[in-house]
Amino acid sequence: MNKILKINKKINSFKKTINVEGDKSLSIRWVLISSLSKKKSIAFNLLKSEDVMSAINCIKLLGSKVKISKNKCEIIGNGLYLNIKKRLVLNAGNSGTLGRLILGLLINSKKKVKLVGDKSLSKRDFSRVVIPLRKFGAKFNRRKYLPLDMEGIHNPNSIKYLEKKGSAQVKTAIILAALKSKGLTTIKAKKSRNHTELMLKSLKIPILVNKNNKQFDQIKISGVRKVSSLNYKIPGDISSCAFFIVLTLLSKNSQLLIKDINVNPTRIGIIKILKMMGGSIKLINKRTYKGEKISDIYVKSSKNLKGINCPIKYNSSAIDEFLVIFLVAAKSKGSSYFKELSELNQKESPRLKWASKILNLMGVKNEMTKSSIKIFGNPNLDLKKKIIIKNFSKDHRIFMMSVIAALTFGGRWTLNDSECFKTSFPKFLEILKKIKR
Ligand code: S3P
């Protein structure tokens, strides 16, 4: 059903402390990796969003036992060897991460498995994982789009692979398949989020990562016989936090403290970029947990924001945050330029196109190409007009970006599909209410 949210008023000044929900990348990885252990794994603060629930449903169908209560989730997996009796259909819902990663796990399934997804996921490119998984020995009925039939192989080959897109999903699908194969797999991967590598290291699985090259990591991993249990306290998601960081920067006389956030260096491009633009953001109380950096984030309203030529070295570590970064560019003095971002159009919706469209609706001048956008900022922008956001493929981040735009730039906004944020951040509106109170 299409539910509508209307916002007609900017947010008042606030000074608050909040928590956001658990990190989505870590939550999905915890679910999938725990399914490889026959022992009980326990997670606290697991994100209970639709994407993570889809992951849980998939591993249940593959034979894992899952118990979820208010504070924790327990998984007893069925080990590394799949014993699928009947033809299975796995549904990845809206999640590219789940869809791509689970294909890695299916590498040793001798039974055919069908992978399906929702309308948006069925438009996304799966050839990026089909190509390396074929090298391991898997067979697929088609190359690019869901639904896909995959037939794994009893003893997968090990492979050598060059991953050029900087996609953590592709890298992880290969690592998961390598865990089930014979021999040593070597991946040269353009740098991207490294949660899988850190989780496997915390499980004492021998995975060697050479980071000496500026652009690429070299990863070496061999097949293993068993995986031990993985107990994990999942920190807050910087990608969820991003909406409130920008809300605070663009609001008058406001301050926000966000507790216990994963600030893995491969994820904090948004902080680096917003600081370059003049944003007042501090990481405090830094610590390390299972190789992941965690910290609290303190943000203050920032008046003198300035446009930048955004260095491409931050692209991968800010990939899910560009939509809100573009809002900061819209409020900055001077123009901002963001380039080599064609991957943004490969997400839940073509996000670069949508960003340009929403900026146009807001009256913010911008020039977009297939892979870049130049935004002409206006520090005095104050909207009065009516803006309707619809038919955006229910992309959760487009919706949340629009909410933040409405609350900081003003105007009378009508947002369709107003439940879609539940794919990644079910408490988004609840936390927003707490900030407004
Ligand atoms: C993710 C990797 C990124 C990111 C996505 C989550 C992950 O996608 O956009 O939201 O958890 O591995 P790509 O691998 O396509 O860059």
Residue 29 and residue 35: Cα distance in Å, rounded? 10
Residue of 23, 118, 217, 320 with catalytic role: 320
Q: SS3 for 71?
A: coil
Number of Cβ within a 10 Å radius of residue 27: 27
Predicted pLDDT at 55:
98
Going from the Cα of 97 to the center of ligand 1, the distance in angstroms, rounded, reads 6
Please name the residues in contact with 173: beta carbons below 8 A apart, sequence gap of 6 or more: 100, 101, 103, 104, 129, 132, 133
> To the nearest whole percent, how much of the chain has pLDDT over 90?
98
Determine if ligand 1 sits within 6 Å of the CB of residue 128: no
Q: What is the mean pLDDT of the chain?
A: 97
What phi-psi label fits residue 411: left (phi over 0), alpha (psi between -120 and 50 degrees) or beta?
A: left
What tokens does 408 get? 């900081």
Going from the Cα of 6 to the center of ligand 1, the distance in angstroms, rounded, reads 30
Which of 49, 52, 191, 193 is the pocket-test mutation for ligand 1 (most atoms within 8 Å of CB)? 193
Residue 216 and residue 189: Cα distance in Å, rounded? 5
Q: Is the model's pLDDT at 54 over the cut of 90? A: yes
User: Looking at this protein, which amino acid is placed at residue 298?
Assistant: Y
Bridge partners of residue 236, in order along the sequence: 22, 261
Going from the Cα of 100 to the center of ligand 1, the distance in angstroms, rounded, reads 10
Q: SS3 for 415?
A: strand
**More confidently predicted of 83 and 91:** 91
If one looks up domain 24-220 in CATH, what number appears?
3.65.10.10
pTM: 0.98
pLDDT confidence bin for 370, thresholds 50/70/90:
very high
Predicted pLDDT at 83:
86
Predicted pLDDT at 1:
84
Query: What mean pLDDT do residues 43-57 have?
Result: 98
What tokens does 209 get? 């990562």
| 435 burial type by CB count under 10 A (0-12 exposed, 13-18 middle, 19+ buried) | buried
**pLDDT tens track for 399-412:** 999 999 999 999 99
Residue 430 and residue 366: Cα distance in Å, rounded? 32
Class of CATH domain 5-22+236-436: alpha beta
Predicted pLDDT at 85:
87
Question: Which helix (DSSP H) or strand (DSSP E) does residue 385 occupy?
Answer: strand 383-389
Q: Which residue, among 244, 306, 325, 260, has the nearest Cα to 15 in the 3D structure?
A: 244
Determine if ligand 1 sits within 6 Å of the CB of residue 168: yes
Q: How far is CA 298 from CA 264, 277, 301, in A?
A: 17, 16, 11
What tokens does 192 get? 């991207």
DSSP 298: E
Q: Is the model's pLDDT at 437 over the cut of 90? A: no
Decide if 98 contacts 58 (C-beta within 8 A): yes
**pLDDT tens track for 309-341:** 999 999 999 999 999 999 999 999 999 999 999
**pLDDT tens track for 114-155:** 999 999 999 999 999 999 999 999 999 999 999 999 999 999
Domain with CATH 3.65.10.10 in the chain: 5-22+236-436, 24-220
**pLDDT tens track for 166-224:** 999 999 999 999 999 999 999 999 999 999 999 999 999 999 999 999 999 999 999 99
**pLDDT tens track for 65-81:** 999 998 899 999 999 99
Determine if ligand 1 sits within 6 Å of the CB of residue 193: yes
Bridge partners of residue 210, in order along the sequence: 218
The answer to whether residue 320 is catalytic is yes
